[in-house]
Amino acid sequence: MRLAFEVCSVIFTLGSLVASQSQSAGQKDTISTTIVNFNNEQMQITWASRELFPGENVSFSYTFEGGQHKLWKPCPTYLLDQGFNSGCLFKTEGSTLAISIMNNNGSKELFSKRLKSDFYIKPNRPENVTFLWKDDTVTVSCNEPKRAVKCLRLELQYKSKFDKGWQSRSSKCCSVGEQGFDPMKCYSFRVRLKRLVPYCNVVNYSSDWEAETFWMNGTSLDSCDDDIKSQSNTIILLSCMLAVLLMIFLLLILLCKWQRLQKSVMPVIPDPKYVFADLFNDHNGNFQESSGQHCKQNSRAFAPHGSLNRVTGWTVAFSCLPKQ
């Protein structure tokens, strides 16, 4: 009976050991990490510490396999999440990397992985970005990076204030062009470098966007709001000019109407100076002399031709004689 109990105890112990080992192996396989190689200069490896290792501060070590002997190095700079180690930053020193995550006292390995560091490169932003405008075509270029140019593509995105989203165009490093730009519109531009997947990277990493720039028909602007302000100022100026011209036109119409109304209500009284111009200019104001000349002219005009005309002519002549 005692022997049977000891056998059962041994079997239970072995089962527990196998279960713990399989659980540990399963945990190693299920741990996910985020690996970024910044421009092949600095490595960043992060993990979800609160979900994977709750309440435990793990340690990280790494080695770049360049020779026969592995030299494991402790993490020089930890990234923290609520006081617990959640990542590590260290210098890139080779293409083949091995990493290990241990428990707090280093007695148990919780995770290990071997990888190619140059498959996780995140490039830097493009440098010295230039814009070349020709008619409705824009060509954007940047400086050529020092390494792995064939693995990079230059991506250009642009939009006007009338577009809802960005339009994209990419080409091999380090120049990209696009045409069909309206010279009357303001456009926002931004560029970045992308790594080719899967030929160069196993993860789709791109650089951060270069600072957004604003252009209109080859002229650089501080923002597209400047274009809106200039257009609004032009509209305001044209509206004011149109209003002034309209007011002048209305005033001219009112002036003409007023002159007509004034003539109809108050007839024009002739100036005696102009009515008796002959009296004052030719006869120095002598009314009898002026009237005598006037009667002579009338007498000639009504010369007698027949009995009726004779009487009429003499009547006119006598009417012009001064009374004694």
Q: What is the pLDDT of residues 222-254, one digit of tens each?
A: 888 855 545 556 677 788 888 888 888 888 888
Q: Which has the minimum average pLDDT: 101-115, 179-193, 304-318?
A: 304-318
For residues 208 and 141, state if they share a domain: yes
* Diameter of the chain measured on Cα atoms: 187
Model confidence band, residue 324 (pLDDT cutoffs 50, 70, 90): very low
Q: How many folded domains does the chain comprise?
A: 4
Burial class (CB in 10 A: 0-12, 13-18, 19+), 189: buried
Question: Structure pTM?
Answer: 0.60
Res 240: pLDDT = 84
For residues 66 and 100, state if they share a domain: yes
Percent of the chain with pLDDT over 70: 67
d(CA 203, CA 197): 7
Residue 218 pLDDT exceeds 50: yes
Instruction: Count how many Cα atoms sit within 13 Å of the Cα of residue 66 in the half-sphere of its side chain.
Output: 10
**Is the residue at 258 inside a domain?**
yes
**Is the residue at 8 inside a domain?**
no
For residues 259 and 310, state if they share a domain: no
For residues 52 and 117, state if they share a domain: yes
For residues 136 and 59, state if they share a domain: no
**Is the residue at 47 inside a domain?**
yes
Answer whether 124's CB lies under 8 Å from 108's CB.
no
For residues 256 and 208, state if they share a domain: no
Residue 10 pLDDT exceeds 50: no
For residues 258 and 197, state if they share a domain: no
**Is the residue at 104 inside a domain?**
yes
Res 51: pLDDT = 87
Last residue of one domain, picked from the residues 63, 93, 122: 122
Last residue of one domain, picked from the residues 83, 106, 122: 122
Res 99: pLDDT = 94
Res 274: pLDDT = 57
Query: 207 by DSSP, 3-state: which?
Result: coil
Query: Angle at the Cα of 136 (from 132 to 137), degrees rounded to 5?
Result: 40
Here the CATH number for the domain that contains residue 136 is 2.60.40.10
For residues 165 and 192, state if they share a domain: yes
Q: Give the pLDDT mean for 275-283.
A: 57
**Is the residue at 17 inside a domain?**
no
d(CA 314, CA 299): 8
**Is the residue at 9 inside a domain?**
no
Q: Give the pLDDT mean for 306-319.
A: 45
Q: Which two tokens stand for residue 311?
A: 């009487």
Task: Taking the CA atoms of 249, 255, 261 and 263 in sequence, report the sign of the dihedral they define.
Answer: negative
Q: Which two tokens stand for residue 188?
A: 């926002």
Q: Is the peptide bond before 174 cis (omega within 30 degrees of 0)?
A: yes
Would strands 33-38 and 121-122 be described as parallel, antiparallel, or unpaired? parallel
**Is the residue at 12 inside a domain?**
no
Residue 31 pLDDT exceeds 60: yes
Phi/psi at 321 (5° precision):
-70, 140
DSSP state of 149: G
For residues 258 and 278, state if they share a domain: no
For residues 178 and 99, state if they share a domain: no
Residue 147 pLDDT exceeds 80: yes
Res 23: pLDDT = 38
204 CB-near residues (< 8 Å, 6+ apart) = 194, 195, 197
Burial class (CB in 10 A: 0-12, 13-18, 19+), 73: middle
Give the pLDDT confidence of 95-139 residue by residue, as tens digits: 999 999 999 888 899 999 999 999 999 999 999 999 999 988 999
Residue 259 pLDDT exceeds 90: no
> Domain span at residue 188?
130-221
Res 64: pLDDT = 92
Res 65: pLDDT = 81
Res 14: pLDDT = 37
Q: Which has the minimum average pLDDT: 46-55, 89-98, 167-176, 305-314?
A: 305-314
Instruction: Count how many Cα atoms sit within 13 Å of the Cα of residue 75 in the half-sphere of its side chain.
Output: 21
Residue 284 pLDDT exceeds 60: no
Helices (H), the chain: 2-30, 49-52, 224-265, 272-275, 277-281, 287-301, 307-320
Better pLDDT: 304 or 205: 205
End-to-end CA distance of the chain: 187
Give the pLDDT confidence of 56-95 residue by residue, as tens digits: 899 999 999 865 567 899 999 999 998 899 999 999 999 9
What value does the CA radius of gyration of the chain take, rounded to a whole number of Å?
Answer: 53
**Is the residue at 14 inside a domain?**
no
Res 9: pLDDT = 43
H or E stretch at 286:
none
Res 289: pLDDT = 59
Res 294: pLDDT = 52
Helices (H) and strands (E) in the chain, counts: 7, 17
Write down the mean pLDDT value for the chain: 78
d(CA 285, CA 229): 75
For residues 87 and 112, state if they share a domain: yes
For residues 80 and 142, state if they share a domain: no
